[in-house]
Amino acid sequence: MDYQTIILDKEEHIATITLNRPERLNAITPEMTQEIISALDDVEEDLEMRVLVLTGAGRAFWSGADVGRRSEGERGARLARGAEEARLGMSRNQTVLMRKLRGL
């Protein structure tokens, strides 16, 4: 899959998902949640991957929901559903999950 808002890198048994909207401090959008879910599925299906690192591009790991888009009603509902799907995907994934965080 060609991702627009994240980067999926796989190298030597380590998969890294990078949230890639640094200009918005990696604020989550419905599109990003769908890409995260797709990347999690990809990593889970790849038996060579043993560790999953979740990080953010730029100076912030994640700043929450993109509030500019959150007020768009249906998009806000999709975002909430997508975020829950991504959380469940991370909890059921058998790969060891590490979060690479940094302060603002």
- Ramachandran category for residue 26: left, alpha or beta (phi over 0 → left; psi -120 to 50 → alpha): left
Q: Is residue 68 part of a domain?
A: yes
Summarised one tens digit per residue, pLDDT across range 19-59 is 999 999 999 888 898 899 899 889 989 999 988 888 999 99
Domain count, the chain: 1
Q: Is residue 48 part of a domain?
A: yes
Instruction: Give the C-alpha separation, 9 to 64, whole Å.
Output: 23
Give 51: exposed, middle or buried? Use CB within 10 Å, 0-12, 13-18, 19+: middle
Summarised one tens digit per residue, pLDDT across range 51-81 is 888 899 999 888 877 877 555 555 556 666 6
| Count of H-run helices and E-run strands, the chain | 3, 4
Q: Is residue 91 part of a domain?
A: yes
User: In 1-104, which residue ranges form alpha helices assigned H by DSSP?
Assistant: 30-45, 67-70, 74-92
Q: Tell me what pLDDT residue 104 has.
A: 43
Quote the pTM value: 0.75
**Domain span including residue 72:** 6-99
CATH number where 55 lies = 3.90.226.10
Pairing of strands 14-19, 51-56: parallel
Q: Is residue 104 part of a domain?
A: no
